[in-house]
Amino acid sequence: MTTPDNSGDVRLSGISKTYDNGFTAVQPLDLTVPQGSFFALLGASGCGKTTTLRMIAGLEEPTTGAVHLGEQEVTHLPPYKRPVNTVFQSYALFPHLDIFENVAFGLRRRGIKSVKKQVEDMLELVQLGEQARKKPHQLSGGQQQRVAVARALINHPKVLLLDEPLGALDLKLRRQMQLELKRIQTEVGITFVHVTHDQEEAMTMADTVAVMNAGRVEQLGSPADLYENPNTTFVANFLGTSNLIEAEVDTENGDDIVLKAGGGKLLLPKARCSAPTKTGGKVLVGIRPEKIALTHADDAGEIPAGRNRLTGKIADASFIGVSTQYVIDSPVCDELAVYVQNVERDGRLVPGADVVLHWSPAHTFGLDATQDID
């Protein structure tokens, strides 16, 4: 039996960072990134994601805790002795060297003479085979970023760390490079740890996302899981529009909690509620805008039984091509967002129309109402 290769696992045990000025940027943190995964640290500016990455790289000494890469403890090893490489936002290519020599640099520094095949393979991997003899200034931003990735990967790190590597690119190029980086990661199969403040970027690329807030990981999971089942209002709102409605716990019905909101009842699966649910207690009910259907009030009788429903009035409607984004005033919440695909659009759904919002209880999530709503 072969032992599974775990040399690219990243394990953080109780690591924290308090800077010399007394500011704690990262609270004690436990985190395991499995070998071969694409992992994103996601959070707003200043939440501690770069500090966390720098502790993995060895560019920052943790105040407490340990860093393991595979079985090896590297907490006190300098960066160059760790099997990691980092790609930064400013790719810092050598301007006087051509692309081939930029990529070859790490190999030549280690005294490796025959670099041609390795560099060519690496340039193929990042689809820059044709550009080998150009200088960095002759490439686009996205191409330069790919050179930076090739330059880091040629050293065969076990883990590639990426600190907002796409931050300097315009939106279109950024979207292309997200797919490109994902393809490269799948091809080389090594662990990628990617820092970003862009939720769409993290969700597009990563298998697992850690959402950070104020030096802590608020929640860890697959993009779909975080989006569908957020545990906190911070995560719910950071990953999209969440339509939070305050409701009161009434009773239980099988696998569901029955809630009172705006004179009606809403069902919430127990498995999707991260709040305590005592009768009379408050819960924040969340529902994503694209999960809600809109029916004109005149047709309310046609809504199938068993769906959660709320009444409201259309305050605003924005046509955005594939969908229309509605803002609905409802007795339970001032501004509920509802996104309806235009194939299903009903011409009567215009500002001022009375409507019923309805959705499957299975798409409803419940949060602790005592949290601050971010």
50 forms part of the interface with ligand ATP (CB under 6 A): yes
Nearer to ligand ATP, 23 or 80 (CB): 23
> For residues 280 and 257, what is the distance between their CA atoms, to the nearest angstrom?
12
Place of tokens 């298998």: 207
Q: Of residues 1, 23, 95, 137, which one binds ligand ATP by CB under 6 A?
A: 23
From 174, 194, 197, 288, residue interacting with ligand ATP (rule: CB under 6 A): 197
| 22 counts as binding ligand ATP under rule CB under 6 A | no
User: Segment near ligand ATP (CB under 6 A), from 16-24, 70-78, 343-351, 354-362?
Assistant: 16-24
Task: State which residue, 50 or 185, has the beta carbon closest to ligand ATP.
Answer: 50
Asked if 62 is part of the footprint of ligand ATP (rule: CB under 6 A), the reply reads no
Q: Supply angle C-alpha 206, 208, 210, rounded to 5.
A: 110
Closer to ligand ATP by CB, 25 or 353: give it. 25
Instruction: Name the residue with the smallest CB distance to ligand ATP.
Output: 50
Produce one character per residue of 273-311: b if its CB has 16 or more CB atoms within 10 Å, e if not. bbbebeeeebbbbbbbbbbbbbbbeeeeeeeeeeebbbb
Question: At its nearest, how many Å lie between ligand ATP and the CB of residue 15?
Answer: 13
Tell me which of 11, 12, 49, 143 binds ligand ATP, using CB under 6 A. Answer: 49
Cα–Cα distances in Å, from 335 out to 151, 241, 308, 322?
Answer: 49, 11, 18, 22
Burial of residue 341 (CB within 10 Å: 0-12, 13-18, 19+) is: exposed
Nearer to ligand ATP by Cβ, of 49 and 146: the residue is: 49
* DSSP conformation letters of 91-106: ----TTS-HHHHHHHH
Q: Could you say which of 48, 136, 286, 312 contacts ligand ATP (CB under 6 A)?
A: 48
How many other CB atoms are there within 10 angstroms of residue 228's CB atom?
Answer: 16
Nearer to ligand ATP, 43 or 157 (CB): 43
Minimum CB–partner distance for residue 331 and ligand ATP (Å): 39
Q: 158-187: which residues touch ligand ATP (CB under 6 A)?
A: none
| Candidate list 51, 86, 199, 233; residue touching ligand ATP; CB under 6 A | 51
For 303-314, give the DSSP string. Answer: SPTT-EEEEEEE
What span, in angstroms and rounded, lies between the C-alpha atoms of 242 and 263?
A: 21
Site string for ligand ATP, 28-47 (x = CB under 6 A): ---------------x-xxx
Q: In terms of DSSP H, where are the helices of 83-169?
A: 99-109, 116-125, 141-153
d(CA 328, CA 272): 25
Residues that bind ligand ATP (CB under 6 A): 19, 21, 23, 25, 43, 45-51, 197
